[in-house]
């Protein structure tokens, strides 16, 4: 049985992420009559596991609870909550797309229309590029969305951010700590790089926002840009984004 997860392995540490995932799941099912034969990715980085044994169905349900399995188009329903990743941010001006993994019969990313984004963040008339830049709505950002429209024959899905995702972004904007988002790495690698750079003590908390995506909440006296300067050369090619609360609040306070 092949199982495709919402979780993705991408970037320069794709192989390390895959190895960790295979190891974690092998340990998780060690007492069951099944085995992880192979871990790979599809073209968009979603992790594909090949599992053999008599407990395949039980394991599929277990993995769905732990990591999320890509939904079948015919199973999608209005009001359903799905996890995904923002993709192709900035390529269009009418909204944002979230990759929820659906690729058959054709690729179907969920559109979050600009008017809905403006309504949800209460920032009317603000251009999408300005919203995305200020609120750190970037490629590979893990998001939870609620499906609001489904048109399978025309390969179209519409959605809005869930309350959980909205609350997270609003909380970041009102915080008095800067953050650094780091995508596509394992926690072990991240901890080691922070330790070697001598900046482990500058991080108040490392928050997991996706399977392999993290938010580093800096101490009040620490600038996130300084952390990038320190660990960037040690994580070349890894997507990193600064979260500066005062800049996020500025766009949210703007009325036009």
pLDDT above 90 for 103? no
Beta-strand pair 213-218/2-8: unpaired
Look at residue 153 and tell me if it is in a domain.
yes
> What torsion, rounded to 10 degrees, do the Cα atoms 216, 217, 221, 223 define?
50
- Looking at residues 166-195, what average pLDDT do you find? 96
Per-residue pLDDT reduced to its tens digit, 68-77: 999 889 899 9
206-237: per-residue pLDDT in tens?
Answer: 999 999 999 999 999 999 999 999 999 999 99
Query: Which uninterrupted H or E stretch holds 145?
Result: strand 142-151
Q: Please, what is the average pLDDT of the chain?
A: 93
- Is 167 a domain residue? no
93 assigned to some structural domain: yes
| Strand segments (E) across 9-64 | 34-41, 46-53
The residue-averaged pLDDT of 80-102 equals 96
Among 25, 45, 66, identify where a domain stops.
66
Q: Which residues span the domain enclosing 48?
A: 2-66
Is pTM beyond 0.85? Reply is yes
169 assigned to some structural domain: no
According to the model, what pLDDT value does residue 256 have?
45
């Amino acid at each position: 049985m092949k199982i495709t997860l919402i979780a993705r392995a991408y970037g320069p540490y794709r192989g390390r992420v895959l190895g960790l995932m295979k190891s974690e799941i092998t340990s998780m099912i060690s007492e069951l009559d099944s085995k992880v034969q192979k871990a790979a990715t599809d073209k968009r980085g979603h992790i594909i596991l090949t599992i053999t044994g008599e407990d395949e169905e039980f394991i599929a349900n277990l993995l769905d609870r732990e990591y999320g399995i890509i939904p079948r188009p015919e199973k999608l329903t209005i009001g359903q909550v799905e996890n995904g990743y923002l993709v192709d941010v900035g390529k269009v001006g009418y909204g944002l797309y979230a990759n929820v993994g659906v690729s058959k019969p054709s690729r179907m990313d969920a559109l979050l229309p600009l008017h809905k984004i403006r309504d949800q963040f209460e920032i009317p008339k603000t251009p999408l590029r300005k919203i995305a830049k200020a609120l750190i709505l970037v490629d590979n950002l893990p998001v939870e969305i609620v499906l609001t429209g489904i048109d399978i024959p025309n390969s179209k899905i519409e959605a809005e951010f869930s309350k959980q995702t909205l609350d997270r972004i609003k909380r970041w904007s009102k915080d008095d700590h800067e953050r650094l988002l780091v995508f596509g790495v394992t926690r072990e690698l991240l901890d080691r790089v922070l330790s070697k750079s001598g900046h482990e003590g500058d991080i108040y908390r490392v928050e997991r926002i996706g399977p392999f995506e993290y938010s580093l909440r800096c101490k009040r006296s620490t600038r996130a840009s300084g952390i990038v300067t320190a660990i960037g050369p040690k994580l070349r090619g890894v997507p990193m984004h600064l979260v500066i609360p005062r800049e996020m609040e500025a766009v949210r306070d703007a009325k036009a």
